[in-house]
Amino acid sequence: MSAKEAELAIHRKRASMKILVASVFAATLFGATAASAQVGVGVNVGGVGVGVGVGVIAPGPNYYDSYYDGYYGPFNDGYWGDAGAFYYSDGHNWQRDDGRHFQRGEGKGFNHVHGSGIHREH
């Protein structure tokens, strides 16, 4: 193998390694966002809502993020509507939160929840 052939082989290996590193980085980034999950549980105890949320939150539009006190029971899905109201799924239908059991910021007795559905306006 001549010096020129050896140098060409080294350049090919470097290019292959750059592609491999970029592919691993892209796969890792995709896996980190695609493997996200959110579980929310809520109960109503004596007129007081208690909720717990556990999980890894994927980055995304903030109209899916909220803080919930657990009043309506387990959190299924939800989003902030264009007029500022929060809509949550009861498992069958979309309901408007008129009782202010969802809020945009943290608060005592409120846990972070992340909706996964498509933004809808009612």
Number of folded domains that form the chain:
2
Classify residue 121: in a domain, yes or no.
no
- Do 4 and 54 fall within a single domain? no
Question: Does the pLDDT of residue 58 top 80, yes or no?
Answer: no
Domain that holds residue 100: 37-114
Question: Does the pLDDT of residue 79 top 90, yes or no?
Answer: no
- Do 22 and 53 fall within a single domain? no
- Mean pLDDT, the chain, rounded, equals 72
- Do 80 and 26 fall within a single domain? no
**Residue 111 — pLDDT band, cuts 50, 70, 90?**
very high
Q: Is 104 left (phi over 0), alpha (psi -120 to 50) or beta?
A: alpha
- Do 15 and 60 fall within a single domain? no
- Do 25 and 51 fall within a single domain? no
pTM attached to this predicted model:
0.49
Classify residue 122: in a domain, yes or no.
no
